[in-house]
Structure 1
Amino acid sequence: MRTVGVEEELLLVDPESGEPQALSAAVLARAARCEQAEQEPVFQKELHNQMVEFATHPQSRMGELAEELVRIRGEAARHAKEAGCAVAALATSPLAVRPSVSIGRRYRWMADQFGIATREQIVCGCHVHVAVDSDEEGVAVLDRIRPWLPVLMALSANSPFWQGRETGYSSYRRRVWLRWPSAGPTELFGPADNYHRRVADMVATGTILDEAMVYFDARLSARYPTVEVRVADVCLHADTAVLVAILVRGLVETAARAWAAGQEPVDHSISLLRLADWQAARSGLTGHLVHPLTMRHASAESVVRDLLEHVGDALADSGDLERARASCAALLRDGNGSQVQREVWERTGSLREVVSSCVRHTQA
């Protein structure tokens, strides 16, 4: 089976007030003392000092991936507590935050180049890496998974609040993220050479610094032999992150099989994909989505059902089908992160309580 790795970004918050805290250096210093010198660090700094990032190891079995996610979230919580803060799997801060950009040449360049857009990017995502056999297979996968990516965003949506206000969006992180000039859905690439030429041309404009700053919704990783899918909010619950990983691997395997069988990708325009993306960010699982195949309104429940059908053979072969069905049913019944946050807000009227609740959910 294809291996899967997950990267998660977590928000550092004051355990009492719920306000974001610029304590990443202190958290990372404590993590470094616990990590073995010969291993690649699990925790990394992010663009802002109010955030930390971690990455799992590549895993073949989803049970093992789930165990690792829960363990590392627990480690992050312990390091944060020692530094005087807490970690929350929140894709945006419900409370107002004053951005603090991390030190480093790359981050200074971004702050100078993109101005306020850089300072506003205190947003936390979940990135899923799935192994591919070659760049040709990887680009063929990118071409074929495009219309399904908004469904992953709807499932993971976990950012209804921004700077102390209700946004009306299930994933407002997504609207903020698209302020980067290289972010969003892509056209069909065809051969891998076309993909690499497009990336090189983008870097050559001087608008972005390097290949790593090409923020496509799904891309070839610059570091690993993987396809990297980047549309999901950081998920409130680890189980939801595992579901996203299962579905991403299913999409990659399904697309690779279609490519090998000579099936052409669906040629939806970027204009339609952007509308589907907006609708998913707006309504999450609470309303209608744009169906990936027909590009027409359909209920979230029916679109999720059709996603499971689309990847069903791949999930059955990996042994993940029943887990995916159960997790999707639970999300549709109980709500995703954005729905959980809104329920706490409606019940308590307190964004501080929203953050406190999410701190608890992060380690559940």
Structure 2
Amino acid sequence: MSTRRTVGVEEEFLLVDEEGVPSPAGPRVTAGGHEGIEHELQQEQAETGSRPRIELDELADDLEQRRRGLAGLAARHGVRVAALATSPVATDPTPFPDERYLRMIAGYGPTASEVLTCGCHVHVGIASETEGIAALNGIQPWLSVLLAISANSPFWRGVDTGYASYRRQVQDRWPAAGPTAPFRDPAEYHAMVDSLIDAGVILDTGMVYFDARLSARYPTIEIRVADVGAEPGSAVPVAALCRALVDAAVAGSGDPWPQARPELLRGAAWRASRYGLTADLVDPLTGQAIPARARVQQLVDRVRPALVRHGDLDRVEDALHQVLEHGTGAERQRAAFARRGSLTDVVHDAVERGRPVRTG
């Protein structure tokens, strides 16, 4: 792809009442076919999706507009929007009354019925599925760094789990989740997905919950590791890094990037989920623990030419400096809890942090 790649973002949100408890308002909030706003598996959620963008400023404006629109719809139905990757307040989710979702609940039991998680999914444009496979293979060792940077889910069912991203632990319960081994070509990828469906492991292509996958709907690779971020625009540097990873991996497909064993990829993701940026991360190519700050810098160095080509380097470096100095969303949630020992305060803080600030 000689032109600059597009990037788009889907963000999932909790809908909460005045007490910070997730509310099954999703069917009402998402009714009416509002562009870029959709329902999710549980009625306590809603999802927004940007258009494909090239410029990060345009992506930021798009995402903020979507949040503003969703917040307005939620307010009409007496609820608010919280960008939390899991609910701090204990709740029993309510499945959306959709035939496919009900089949998932019936077939997967608590794996489906208990899940109430909100992610940030980044779509990066590809010229062909062959490019997509080169990207899928190349980016795997770096996805745990994106998870660590975005960690925003320490609380689950009313308790502090000790994890920075407990959402990751919940998502890993699905049978087709996590990292993947290398694929020779698109045919091998699709044959693997067909096998999972034919064997009754997953219902359809929508249940391919790998860390990164070929999108079944768009000409993109979809990277699914990040927690949703509290602040408007928090997804933008994550999206820029995803685009740079795909760009660099495809550019190096003639000399493919080194690949790691799935066991080490899973171990690296677990450690990123457990500690975020507060402890060493794992380099799955070597199996060695590396200080988080150094591992983040390795990622930037690996994709620096692609960041420069897209004009994204300064923005990404500024954002990473902020998260390294001031902590991830998980640390901010714990700080909100520490002030009064109230999980409701954690939700309220996220609601306030997530309010769109632009007026245009």
TM-score, normalisation: structure 1: 0.95
Query: Residue type matched to 2:20 in 1?
Result: G
| CA shift digits 1:313-355 (9 cap, x unpaired) | 0000110001100000001111111111011111221111110
Please, which runs of 5 or more residues in structure 1 have no aligned partner? 36-40
Give me the CA root mean square deviation.
1.0
Query: Residue type matched to 1:164 in 2?
Result: G
When structure 1 is superposed on structure 2, of 164-173 and 287-296 the one drifting more is 287-296
Corresponding position: 1:113 with 2:116: no
Describe the SS at the equivalent of 1:235.
coil
CA contact (8 A) 1:186 1:270 kept: yes
Residue in structure 1 matched with residue 29 of structure 2 by the alignment: 27
Corresponding position: 1:284 with 2:259: no
Q: Give the alignment partner of residue 338 of structure 2, picking from 333, 336, 346.
A: 346
Superposed, 1:207-222 pairs within 5 Å as 207-222=201-216
- Measured after TM superposition, the shift of residue 292 of structure 1 is 4.4
Corresponding position: 1:243 with 2:237: yes
Q: Give the alignment partner of residue 3 of structure 1, picking from 1, 6, 22.
A: 6
Identity %: 46
Query: Residue type matched to 2:130 in 1?
Result: E
Please, which runs of 5 or more residues in structure 2 have no aligned partner? none
| C-alpha distance in structure 1 between counterparts of 2:310 and 2:105, whole Å | 43
| C-alpha distance in structure 2 between counterparts of 1:68 and 1:104, whole Å | 28
Residue in structure 2 matched with residue 310 of structure 1 by the alignment: 302
Superposed, 1:251-270 pairs within 5 Å as 251-259=245-253, 262-270=254-262
| C-alpha distance in structure 2 between counterparts of 1:115 and 1:23, whole Å | 23
| CA shift digits 1:21-70 (9 cap, x unpaired) | 000111113x64xx4xxxxx311110000000111000000010001111
CA contact (8 A) 2:249 2:256 kept: no
| CA shift digits 1:73-126 (9 cap, x unpaired) | 111111111100000000000000111001111011101110011111110001
| C-alpha distance in structure 2 between counterparts of 1:135 and 1:68, whole Å | 27
Query: Residue type matched to 1:66 in 2?
Result: A
Q: Give the alignment partner of residue 146 of structure 1, picking from 116, 134, 140.
A: 140
Describe the SS at the equivalent of 2:252.
helix
| C-alpha distance in structure 2 between counterparts of 1:24 and 1:202, whole Å | 30
Residue in structure 2 matched with residue 272 of structure 1 by the alignment: 264
Describe the SS at the equivalent of 1:303.
helix
Residue in structure 1 matched with residue 188 of structure 2 by the alignment: 194
Q: Give the alignment partner of residue 323 of structure 1, picking from 315, 327, 333.
A: 315
The number of aligned residues is 353
CA contact (8 A) 2:37 2:66 kept: no
| C-alpha distance in structure 1 between counterparts of 2:259 and 2:216, whole Å | 26
Q: Give the alignment partner of residue 101 of structure 1, picking from 85, 95, 114.
A: 95
CA contact (8 A) 2:10 2:49 kept: yes
CA contact (8 A) 2:133 2:185 kept: yes
Residue in structure 2 matched with residue 38 of structure 1 by the alignment: none
CA contact (8 A) 2:27 2:96 kept: no
- Measured after TM superposition, the shift of residue 360 of structure 1 is 0.6
Residue in structure 1 matched with residue 73 of structure 2 by the alignment: 79
